[in-house]
Amino acid sequence: MNEQEIQAAEFQIEQMQKIIESINSQLNEVAHTIEALMELKSLNNNAEILFPVANGIFVKGTISDTQNLSINVGNNVVVEKTINQSIEMMQKQFSEINDYKKQLEKQLDDMLKKLQE
C-alpha cells in the first residue's frame, strides 16, 4: 500500500469506529426500552407511576392499561400493540441492529488486518 491508500484506509477505519459507537448507543437505547416494557408488563392496572414530561421532569399518574400500547411506526402513524407484541418488536429490532454491528465489526477487522500487511 502506498501512503495515500494507507491514509484512505485509516480514514475508513475511523469512520467505521464512529458508526459502531453510534450503533452501541442505539443498542443501549433499545435495551433500556425492552427493560422498561418488561417493568410495565409486571405492573397492575391502576398502578401509580412517574410519567416523563421532559428530560428529568416527571409527573405522578395512574396507568389504567398496562397491557396495550400505542406505537408510532413512522409518518405520524400510530398502531395499537399488546405489551408482548411491543417487547417482541423491540427484541427483533435489537437483534437486527446487533447483526448489522457484527457485520461492521467483521469489515473493520478485515480492514485492520489488511492495513497491517
**Could you give the domains of the chain?**
3-116 (1.10.287.370)
pLDDT digits (tens, 9 = 90+) for 63-115: 999 999 999 989 999 999 999 999 999 999 999 999 999 999 999 999 998 88
pLDDT digits (tens, 9 = 90+) for 23-72: 999 999 999 999 999 999 999 989 999 999 999 999 999 999 999 999 99
SS (H, E, C) the chain: CCHHHHHHHHHHHHHHHHHHHHHHHHHHHHHHHHHHHHHHHHCCCCEEEEEEEECCEEEEEEECCCCEEEEEEECCEEEEEEHHHHHHHHHHHHHHHHHHHHHHHHHHHHHHHHHHC
Reported confidence tier of residue 117, pLDDT bands at 50, 70, 90: confident
